[in-house]
Amino acid sequence: MTSVSELMKTMEYGPSVEDSAAVRDWLARRDAFGHFIGGSFTEPGQLFDSRDPATGEVLAQVSQGTVDDVAAAVAAARQAQPGWAALTGTQRARYLYALARHIQKRERFLSVLETLDNGKPIRESRDIDVPLVARHFYHHAGWAELRDSAFPGHQPIGVCGQIIPWNFPLLMLAWKIAPALAAGNTVVLKPAEYTPLTALAFAEICQEIGLPAGVVNIVTGDGETGAALVAADVDKIAFTGSTEVGRAIANQLAGRATRLTLELGGKSPFVVMPDADLDGAVDGVVDSIWFNGGQVCCAGSRILVAEAVAERFETLLAARMSRLRVGPPLDKSTDVGAIVDPVQKDRILSICRAATDTGAELVGGAAQEGCFIAPGYLRNITPANPGFEQEIFGPIATLSTFRTADEAVELANNTRYGLAASIWSESAAVATDIAARVKAGVVWINCANLFDAAAPFGGYRESGFGREGGRVGMLDYLADAPVDTVDEPAAAAPVAATTGSGSGQPADLDRTAKLYIGGAQKRPDGGASYAVPGGLAPLGGRKDIRNAVEAAAKAGKWAAMGGHARAQVLYYIAENLSARADEFAARTSRAEVEAAIARAFHYAAWADKFDGENVQAKPGHLLSVVNEPFGVMGIACPNAQPLAAFMSLVMPAIAMGNRVVAIAAQDDPLAVTDLYQVFDTSDLPGGVVNIVTGPRDDLARVLAAHDEVAAMWMVGGDLAAVEKAAGGNLKPVWAPAHRDWTGPQAQGEVFLRHATQAKTIWLPYGA
């Protein structure tokens, strides 16, 4: 007689296909879709097909949004915005709650529609995507209710343009629309051209619940429609998609006062330490790179495994991989469904070919008929191989080995991206150490690809900026409390007054300042100075900026010192500045000196307090949202109130652990260059603050273009040029309004927020 365990091994799966009749009925009744603008559907325009990638069948035809369609949608959103914002939090919450409820009621319908349109397994759309969509609207119903008390002084931004990809069509819609609406904004959303159908079903839900017309508008179309939305009169663009398009959008928006958040690509490391639970880690790989066919921006696509356990790990992995079922997405026993479109399938295969042509070996990963690719991984792959570096965005990981924890961290960070990381170790000490050192916005310890509406999500480096989810995510849909602005006085073009070592200096100039780089006073590379009130300032150039950035990059220990130690240095700066207050007041004004001292005290107080928070995203998971410094920051100071402005900008940045390259007030920098002695006597480590003087806009552009600079602040001046330059490696640019730098509006949490990026660390627990 056959035993049960034998039976389990030999038993074939029978198909268990989810019923799609209701969805097909719904589609049959609407063979062509218009856009959803101002609460109703427009007549269909020029049409394109939306297909089921598993079969190639045309599911529906949707309209290609034109510039006029986008303009009409933006106008509807603009008209609806004041009324929506004027509702009470509770009223807005009720709408969001109703959306959540209706999504829940239609869970089965939406899962099937999503699976048909995208090709993902029904198990995923039913058990992960759609429940998370409902969760997102519930969570943000809460934020709508609490907005005024949780974010005092904040206001909605206005009209938000939102562009989403095809890998999680309805979930990305929820991530975009829920916080925007909770905050009091209205939206125009453009779904991806491969997967517009669940967004259109969502539009119907908006009608069903009686959402005021124009609060949500949906315009379908391809990249051209997206570009039209970016060019339209919107107050914010939120984009999720490829790094290339993200960079193009950053460029397009340079110089426009449009808020921008970008959630871009990744090549996230999946690190298996020698003491990891290998069976758990193998399951983690399945969740990481074979979930949604690897078409996941945060997929753990670079498996890095400790050499000591690599052989065993690979044996387990190969066995697990061979049991994954590739097949019809609607079949409930399918693990890996269809790739979203033949174009994407070709793209995946071509990267794999390039990888194997360059010496890597592909295990599994066979192309199958139709839009299917079997799960696989590339081994024997060097960091220089195109497959190691490029986002494959398919069910193909890379696998390489490391010897030590340091090497693991180095390999993990050897990428231009920084979206996520998954770390496997049974030792909490080891796992948390690596979590702290890895440069990524989301870190999963002994887990992978977990998401929750309360857990901020977003990237470091070229994975973008801004966060979605939780309190931090809400801030990206709110405008800071307004400040009284003053005009930034225009700077005069600095003219070289002398060359060489200061010889020939006019007699009435009492001082020739130097640059401050790496904790030492340095002559500018060109050797020239320019006349400023009270003396000569060095005429810094491109090379000086590069030297300053290099010095800042080397001063990484500043972040590792911890908030308490940094606070002591800031208190010391305050003390030493107080002792020399009269001297500084003679060069600037008493008010400026008082403000400068106040800033050092204020941010010393904050240095060990702006830590982040723990959130309750899921039972059984410890979730820390840590505020990490960017690393090297560039700060271009305004021309007025040179000392107060400099301290108002530089102190919060260094309090958080950043190292700074600051361009001092162009026309009047000597009060700032006098700070060198204060810094030297305050135990500020060399390289933490570097100061360059000279033509501010030119220097700021060089700084913004530098790859080592991770964030840029700029007050006034040629912001457009700086934003363009910063777009190259996608660093965020913050342009705080020019204000009275001696007043109370020149300090506070807003400065700290812009000096940090949130890292979300997930740690499941349970004995």
Q: Check residue 227 for interaction with ligand NAI (CB under 6 A).
A: yes
Q: Check residue 222 for interaction with ligand NAI (CB under 6 A).
A: yes
Residue 311 DSSP label: H
Q: How far is CA 257 from the centre of its chain?
A: 19
Chain positions 336 to 355 lying near ligand NAI, rule: CB under 6 A, are 344, 347
Q: Check residue 195 for interaction with ligand NAI (CB under 6 A).
A: no
Q: Where does this chain touch ligand NAI (CB under 6 A) — which range of 8-16, 223-231, 541-549, 755-763?
A: 223-231
Q: Is 575 among the catalytic positions?
A: no
Q: Quickly count: other Cβ atoms within 10 Å of residue 304's Cβ.
A: 25
Amino acid at 533: P
Q: Check residue 241 for interaction with ligand NAI (CB under 6 A).
A: yes
Q: Check residue 163 for interaction with ligand NAI (CB under 6 A).
A: yes
Tokens 């006597």 sit on residue: 681
- Beta carbon nearer to ligand NAI, 245 or 289: 245
Q: Quickly count: other Cβ atoms within 10 Å of residue 322's Cβ.
A: 10
- Beta carbon nearer to ligand NAI, 173 or 635: 173
Q: Where does this chain touch ligand NAI (CB under 6 A) — which range of 149-157, 235-243, 486-494, 504-512?
A: 235-243
Q: Where does this chain touch ligand NAI (CB under 6 A) — which range of 160-168, 620-628, 633-641, 642-650?
A: 160-168
CA distance 318 to 639: 62
Give every strand in the sheet of 32-33, ordered side by side: 32-33, 58-63, 47-51
Among 124, 129, 193, 287, binds ligand NAI (CB under 6 A): 193
3-state SS, one letter per residue, for 61-129: EEECCCHHHHHHHHHHHHHHHHHHHHCCHHHHHHHHHHHHHHHHHCHHHHHHHHHHHHCCCHHHHHHHH
Q: Quickly count: other Cβ atoms within 10 Å of residue 30's Cβ.
A: 17
Q: Check residue 264 for interaction with ligand NAI (CB under 6 A).
A: yes
Per-residue contact flags (x/-) with ligand NAI for residues 289 to 318, judged by CB under 6 A: --------x---------------------
- Beta carbon nearer to ligand NAI, 123 or 190: 190
Q: How far is the CB of 393 from ligand NAI (least distance, A)?
A: 4
Q: Parallel, antiparallel, or unpaired: how do β-strands 259-263 and 236-240 relate?
A: parallel
Among 73, 230, 278, 472, binds ligand NAI (CB under 6 A): 230
Q: Check residue 486 for interaction with ligand NAI (CB under 6 A).
A: no
DSSP bridge partners of 269? 302
- Beta carbon nearer to ligand NAI, 124 or 193: 193
Among 53, 119, 265, 634, binds ligand NAI (CB under 6 A): 265
Q: Where does this chain touch ligand NAI (CB under 6 A) — which range of 163-171, 209-217, 571-579, 728-736?
A: 163-171
Q: Check residue 245 for interaction with ligand NAI (CB under 6 A).
A: yes
Residue 618 DSSP label: S
- Beta carbon nearer to ligand NAI, 347 or 416: 347
Among residues 704, 751, 750, the alpha carbon closest in space to that of 728 is found at 704
Q: Where does this chain touch ligand NAI (CB under 6 A) — which range of 188-196, 406-414, 543-551, 608-616?
A: 188-196
CA distance 82 to 64: 29
Among residues 389, 456, 448, the alpha carbon closest in space to that of 422 is found at 448
Count residues near ligand NAI (CB under 6 A): 26
Residue of minimal Cβ distance to ligand NAI: 226
- Beta carbon nearer to ligand NAI, 240 or 624: 240
DSSP letters spanning 220-233: ---HHHHHHHHHSS
Chain positions 567 to 596 lying near ligand NAI, rule: CB under 6 A, are none
Q: How far is the CB of 454 from ligand NAI (least distance, A)?
A: 20
Q: Where does this chain touch ligand NAI (CB under 6 A) — which range of 142-150, 162-170, 283-291, 375-383?
A: 162-170
- Beta carbon nearer to ligand NAI, 222 or 407: 222
Q: How far is the CB of 293 from ligand NAI (least distance, A)?
A: 11
CA distance 200 to 214: 15
Q: How far is the CB of 628 from ligand NAI (least distance, A)?
A: 21
Alpha helices for 505-637 (secondary structure H): 542-554, 557-560, 563-579, 581-587, 590-606
Among residues 535, 531, 539, the alpha carbon closest in space to that of 515 is found at 539
Among 242, 413, 589, 729, binds ligand NAI (CB under 6 A): 242
CA distance 738 to 639: 10
Alpha helices for 192-332 (secondary structure H): 197-208, 223-231, 243-253, 278-289, 307-322
Q: How far is the CB of 340 from ligand NAI (least distance, A)?
A: 8
Q: Check residue 192 for interaction with ligand NAI (CB under 6 A).
A: yes
Q: How far is the CB of 85 from ligand NAI (least distance, A)?
A: 26
Q: Which residues, other chains included, contact 449 with Cβ-Cβ below 8 Å and sequence gap of 6+?
A: 287, 288, 291, 296, 298, 299, 300, 422
CA distance 180 to 237: 11
Among 223, 526, 728, 743, binds ligand NAI (CB under 6 A): 223
Q: Check residue 240 for interaction with ligand NAI (CB under 6 A).
A: yes
Q: How far is the CB of 464 from ligand NAI (least distance, A)?
A: 8
Chain positions 380 to 419 lying near ligand NAI, rule: CB under 6 A, are 391, 393
Q: Check residue 646 for interaction with ligand NAI (CB under 6 A).
A: no
Q: Parallel, antiparallel, or unpaired: how do β-strands 420-424 and 612-615 relate?
A: unpaired
- The one catalytic residue in 18, 145, 193, 263 is 263
Q: How far is the CB of 387 from ligand NAI (least distance, A)?
A: 13
- Beta carbon nearer to ligand NAI, 227 or 597: 227
- Beta carbon nearer to ligand NAI, 268 or 690: 268
3-class DSSP state of 306: strand
- Residue 250 near residue 723 (C-beta atoms within 8 A): yes
Q: Check residue 161 for interaction with ligand NAI (CB under 6 A).
A: no
- Residue 157 near residue 236 (C-beta atoms within 8 A): yes
Q: Where does this chain touch ligand NAI (CB under 6 A) — which range of 245-253, 425-433, 580-588, 592-600?
A: 245-253
Q: Parallel, antiparallel, or unpaired: how do β-strands 632-636 and 478-479 relate?
A: unpaired
In the structure encoding, which two tokens stand for residue 427, read together?
């030792």
- Beta carbon nearer to ligand NAI, 315 or 350: 350
Q: Where does this chain touch ligand NAI (CB under 6 A) — which range of 161-169, 398-406, 587-595, 630-638?
A: 161-169
CA distance 388 to 402: 15
- Beta carbon nearer to ligand NAI, 163 or 625: 163
Q: Check residue 248 for interaction with ligand NAI (CB under 6 A).
A: yes
Calculated CA dihedral for residues 35, 38, 42, 46, nearest 10 degrees: -40
- Beta carbon nearer to ligand NAI, 453 or 537: 453
Q: CA–CA distance from 256 to each of 184, 273, 512, 735 (Å)?
A: 22, 46, 38, 11
Binding site for ligand NAI (CB under 6 A): 163-167, 190, 192-193, 222-223, 226-227, 230, 240-242, 245, 248-249, 264-265, 297, 344, 347, 391, 393
Active site residues: 263
